[in-house]
């Protein structure tokens, strides 16, 4: 019985420790880069491009193929000649063996193979950039989700702090009613306010649980059910406008990937134009043939024959007319290259405008945060004074309730200002690629 009690006590303590175990933002980010499904898929696509690039040099090499056949023939034949004495009929049997090794090497194709090699290498570079871009977006989502949980925890703490005041109001209202200095509506209103805050606590707990599930989904469900986050939103208030906006074309991974798209389109245009030029190829082959006529009907056929030899030469394929297909493909490739340039310019404009707007949000959020940090001290002091005055009968419950509501409003604005400042900071770093650095 004693051992059972100790085991249950230990299990309870272990469960409590696990329930209170906190995971830092750094751990969450590291886990997301390893287990997030979108990041894994982006890496898989990049691996495909890398493999293609590693083998792209093989386009400059010749192709070499070996072919071998062996055939057994058994045919019923009937031969008739002008000289009737030579007529013959019966079954002819033969065994034929053929083998060849063939080499084909494209020596010149209008530099198409070089353009193809560069395009595949560019696709490999773009794949790496897209992985980094996905990482940045995933990190931003994780940070916003993580600190949204912190925000809701702070909101829960603020509600619980205000509940203490409401509970004190209920006790004071009950005492006043008992001694005849209070009224029943005053007590009822105090209880209504207290119950409303109890409901808010339950709603906050539900919101926190849902946000934790969302965060766990971003990490590929790698976290246990019992985990917690920190209690503080850490904000970098020292970001400068010039620093976050400067050189964004070379720091934003989406822009870099879009620029690669434009380069890839130009290389595809080079490939299409190369199809207008002649193609010069070198061909060579070694052939072996052997026929063993086991049984002959035709007296003029050889009983055994064998040949082997080596041949080589050049082939020049000159495109003259193919229904203007090549011209059409060149025109389409040119349009695609122009389109990729427009898409790049559009994305560049969007990101630069987004950076400017994000910095305005960030700067305003900092100013609002400083104001609300000062206001919360005033609101807390006001509630403390109103509560003491209410205890001594110097103020009404309406004045105390008004001070409480004012404190609740300030808490909402302060917590929202902290979170908004962090979201704005995260967006700035996402757009300039700073999150991955």
- Per-residue pLDDT at 384: 82
Q: Of 1 and 297, which is predicted with more confidence?
A: 297
Q: What residue has token string 């293609």? A: 52
DSSP calls for 286-311: EEEEEEEEEE-S-TTS-SEEEEEEEE
- Per-residue pLDDT at 299: 67
Mean pLDDT, residues 244-263: 89
Q: How confident is the model at residue 17 (pLDDT cuts 50, 70, 90)?
A: very low
- Per-residue pLDDT at 126: 93
Q: How confident is the model at residue 6 (pLDDT cuts 50, 70, 90)?
A: very low
- Per-residue pLDDT at 2: 35
Sorted by sequence, the CB contacts under 8 Å of residue 22 that are 6+ apart come out as 227, 228, 229, 230
- What 3-state DSSP class applies to 176? helix
pLDDT tens profile 142-164: 999 999 999 999 889 888 888 88
pLDDT of 227 > 60? The answer is: yes
CA distance 288 to 363: 82
- Per-residue pLDDT at 146: 93
Pick the range with the lowest mean pLDDT from 108-117, 165-174, 291-300.
291-300
pTM (two decimals): 0.80
- Per-residue pLDDT at 403: 81
Domains of the chain: 21-61+109-277+319-431 (1.20.1600.10), 68-108+281-318 (no CATH)
- Per-residue pLDDT at 184: 77
- Per-residue pLDDT at 249: 85
- Per-residue pLDDT at 331: 95
Q: What residue has token string 């603020």? A: 158
Q: Of 89 and 114, which is predicted with more confidence?
A: 114
pLDDT of 190 > 80? The answer is: no
- Per-residue pLDDT at 105: 93
Q: In the beta sheet, which residues pair with residue 72?
A: 95
- Per-residue pLDDT at 11: 41
Mean pLDDT, residues 192-207: 87
CA distance 411 to 248: 36
Q: Which ranges of 86-183 does DSSP label H, i.e. alpha helix?
A: 112-179
Mean pLDDT, residues 368-390: 83
Please say whether the dihedral angle defined by the alpha carbons of residues 146, 147, 152 and 154, taken in this order, is positive or negative: positive
Residue closest to 139 by CA, chosen among 250, 221, 238, 39: 39
Buried b (16+ CB within 10 A) or exposed e, 299-324: eeeeeeeeeeeeeeeeeeeeeeeeee
Cα–Cα distances (Å) from 53 to 43, 64, 127, 257, 271, in that order, read: 15, 21, 11, 17, 17
Mean pLDDT, residues 18-22: 62
Burial of 154 (0-12, 13-18, 19+ CB in 10 A): buried
Q: How confident is the model at residue 297 (pLDDT cuts 50, 70, 90)?
A: low
CA distance 137 to 269: 32
Q: In the beta sheet, which residues pair with residue 145?
A: none
CA distance 352 to 244: 10
Cα–Cα distances (Å) from 70 to 73, 94, 303, in that order, read: 10, 11, 17
CA distance 236 to 320: 66
Mean pLDDT, residues 323-330: 91
Sorted by sequence, the CB contacts under 8 Å of residue 50 that are 6+ apart come out as 124, 127
CA distance 288 to 270: 42
Mean pLDDT of the chain: 84
pLDDT of 12 > 90? The answer is: no
pLDDT tens profile 105-127: 999 998 999 999 999 999 999 99
CA distance 123 to 40: 18
Q: What is the DSSP letter of 228?
A: B
pLDDT tens profile 331-353: 999 999 999 999 999 999 999 99
- What 3-state DSSP class applies to 401? helix
Please say whether the dihedral angle defined by the alpha carbons of residues 44, 45, 46 and 49, taken in this order, is positive or negative: positive
pLDDT tens profile 258-284: 999 999 999 999 999 999 999 999 999
pLDDT of 300 > 80? The answer is: no
pLDDT of 390 > 80? The answer is: no
Pick the range with the lowest mean pLDDT from 217-226, 233-242, 313-322.
217-226
């Amino acid at each position: 019985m004693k051992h059972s009690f100790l085991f249950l006590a230990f299990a309870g303590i272990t469960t409590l420790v696990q329930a209170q175990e906190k995971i830092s933002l750094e751990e969450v980010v590291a886990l997301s880069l390893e287990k997030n499904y979108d990041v894994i898929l982006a890496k898989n696509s990049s691996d495909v491009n890398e493999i293609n690039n590693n083998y792209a040099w093989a386009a400059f090499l010749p192709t070499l193929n070996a072919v071998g056949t062996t055939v057994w023939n058994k045919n019923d034949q009937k031969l008739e000649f002008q000289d009737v004495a030579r007529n013959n009929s019966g079954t002819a049997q033969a065994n034929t063996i053929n083998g060849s090794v063939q080499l084909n090497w494209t020596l010149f194709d209008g530099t198409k193979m070089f353009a193809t090699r560069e395009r595949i290498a560019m696709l490999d570079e773009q794949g790496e950039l897209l992985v980094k871009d996905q990482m940045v977006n995933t990190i931003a989502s994780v940070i916003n989700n993580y600190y949204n949980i912190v925000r809701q925890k702070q909101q829960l703490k603020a509600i619980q702090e205000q509940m203490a005041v409401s509970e004190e109001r209920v006790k004071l209202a009950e005492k006043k009613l008992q001694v005849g200095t209070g009224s029943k509506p005053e007590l009822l209103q105090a209880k209504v306010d207290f119950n409303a805050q109890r409901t808010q606590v339950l709603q906050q707990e539900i919101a926190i649980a849902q946000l934790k599930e969302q965060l766990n989904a971003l990490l590929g469900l790698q976290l246990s059910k019992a985990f917690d986050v920190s209690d503080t939103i850490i904000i970098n208030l020292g970001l400068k406008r010039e620093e976050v906006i400067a050189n964004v074309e070379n720091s934003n991974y989406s822009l870099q990937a879009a620029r690669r798209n434009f380069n890839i389109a130009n290389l595809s245009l080079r490939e299409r134009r190369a199809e207008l030029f002649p193609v010069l190829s070198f061909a060579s082959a070694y052939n072996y043939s052997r026929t063993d006529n086991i049984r002959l009907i035709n007296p003029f056929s050889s009983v055994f024959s064998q040949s082997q030899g080596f041949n080589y030469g050049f082939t020049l394929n000159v495109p003259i007319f193919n229904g203007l297909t090549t011209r059409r493909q060149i025109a389409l490739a040119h349009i695609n290259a122009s389109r990729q340039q427009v898409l790049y310019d559009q994305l560049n404009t969007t990101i630069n405008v987004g950076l400017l707007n994000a910095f305005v949000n960030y700067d305003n959020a900092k100013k609002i945060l400083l104001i609300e940090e000062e206001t919360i001290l005033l609101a807390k002091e006001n509630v403390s004074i109103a509560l003491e005055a209410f205890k001594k009968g110097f103020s009404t419950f309406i004045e105390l309730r008004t001070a409480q509501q004012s404190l609740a409003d300030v808490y909402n604005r302060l917590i929202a200002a902290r979170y908004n400042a962090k979201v704005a900071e995260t967006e700035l770093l996402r757009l300039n690629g700073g999150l991955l650095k």
